[in-house]
Amino acid sequence: MFPKTFSFHTLRVKIPNFCCSPEVTKENFGNFLISPFSIQTVFALTQSGAKDPTAAEIRNKLNLPDSPEKTDEIYSAILPTLKGNEQYALHTANKIYVKNDYPVKEEFKNVASNVYQAGIENIDFTQKTEAATAINGWVEKQTNNKIHDLIDPNTLDADTRIILINALYFKGKWVNPFESYATRKRDFYKTPKDIVKVDTMQNTDLYNYYESPELKAKFLEMPYLGDDISMVIVLPNEKDGLEFVESQVDKVFTTHNFTQERVSVSLPKFSIENKVQLKKILQNLGVNTAFTDEADLSGIAGKKGELAISDVVQKAFINVTETGTEAAAATAASVVVTLSLPPQHGNVKQFKANHPFVFYLKLNEFVLLAGKYNTP
């Protein structure tokens, strides 16, 4: 799940739909959360040290700009802006762990540091437990202790040369908070016939609202304090309409004609935490060469065919309550050698999220996290 385009002043970059793409949804039937931003940042950093055709394939299949220079320009502009303020917390960080005494090229170090603001640290990957503990400790610190155990020590060995990591954290309060006394158990339709009780928040206030006849869904934008960050809930009209919305995901992220309406909102409190193995998903999207002995990551270190990506993993977390939202994500790429509401009257729109829906967290028009809520 990711909008097709992102505009940053005069910069423009196309980005892929990770969350609701068939490659993801066919293997994730329940609640699901992913940070497309985090994935793409790791691979933008990777392609800066890759050579064509490996780099070109990464840029093409993940819809990055058509050159490393343009990609670096985008991230030079974006990353410094991803900071919180006095009204919400927002933090992103990049880190590169390198095998002790492994000669990473200076040009890559410079790009990693100056463009991606990535710290570089040497580590002994053969000391699996100690190395994983150190890496996971950094991730925990960057995500306010919300993402744990990103790196499994059993995935580290003598062939591991580099691990590239992006971490993301957000915490914000709603402009229109829900009153806790209004939260109570209500029906949630996992399917039209499978009903469970779930803690459901309620509020009536002014929101950006849109109804899409084409997508057979309603859109609700719920702003956080700070003006430029919000959550959008995409609610199918039918209780079993999520699959149709997912099949039209490109249209979900086009620009919609939101209007400010008085809306009666019914929304479950929910928390999602998951770990996603991304290698197969990325290969299905067409990123193949970087995972083979044909990979050319010689801009990072060594020569063509010496390094390849062995694994890509992401953990993500979100907690949505009456007061606001806390969310975090971390992505790591490992590089190895290849050897029910009361009646309402008047002009009040009804947004009753009592069945599966899609949601995404965005800063201006830039999606940081996205997911789907299928079941309590």
Helix (H) or strand (E) holding 135: helix 128-142
By residue range, what is the domain housing residue 64?
Answer: 8-21+28-172+272-318
What is the rounded average pLDDT of the residues 59-68?
A: 90
Structure tokens at 187: 């029906």
Q: Is 286 left (phi over 0), alpha (psi -120 to 50) or beta?
A: left
pLDDT digits (tens, 9 = 90+) for 309-362: 999 999 999 999 999 999 999 999 999 887 644 445 558 999 999 999 999 999
Calpha distance 306→294 (Å, rounded): 9
**Domain check: are 40 and 163 in the same one?**
yes
Question: Any residues with CB less than 8 A from the CB of 188 and at least 6 apart, and which?
Answer: 195, 196, 197, 198, 200, 268, 354, 355, 375, 376
**Domain check: are 213 and 293 in the same one?**
no
Query: Phi/psi at 129 (nearest 5 deg)?
Result: -65, -45
**Domain check: are 135 and 247 in the same one?**
no
**Quick one: how far is CA 302 from the chain centroid?**
31
Calpha distance 149→153 (Å, rounded): 9
Closest alpha carbon to 236 in 194, 202, 192: 192
What is the rounded average pLDDT of the residues 145-149?
A: 97
Q: How many CB atoms lie within 10 A of CB 145?
A: 11
Structure tokens at 222: 């719920």
Among the ranges given (162-171, 196-205, 344-353), the one the predictor scored with the smallest mean pLDDT: 344-353
Dmax over CA atoms of the chain, in Å, equals 71
Domain boundary among 283, 302, 318: 318
**Domain check: are 68 and 159 in the same one?**
yes
- pLDDT score of 367: 86
State the pLDDT confidence band at 7, using cuts at 50, 70 and 90. very low
DSSP state string for 198-239: EEEEEEEEEEEEEEETTTTEEEEEEEBTTSSEEEEEEEESST
pTM as predicted: 0.91
- pLDDT score of 22: 53
CA distances (Å), origin 229, targets 6, 63, 368: 15, 24, 10
Structure tokens at 16: 């892929």
**Domain check: are 144 and 188 in the same one?**
no
**Domain check: are 135 and 186 in the same one?**
no
State the pLDDT confidence band at 23, using cuts at 50, 70 and 90. low
Query: What is the total count of domains within the chain?
Result: 2
CA distances (Å), origin 149, targets 91, 143, 146, 252, 368: 19, 12, 10, 33, 21
Q: Are strands 184-189 and 259-268 parallel, antiparallel or unpaired?
A: unpaired
**Domain check: are 247 and 366 in the same one?**
yes
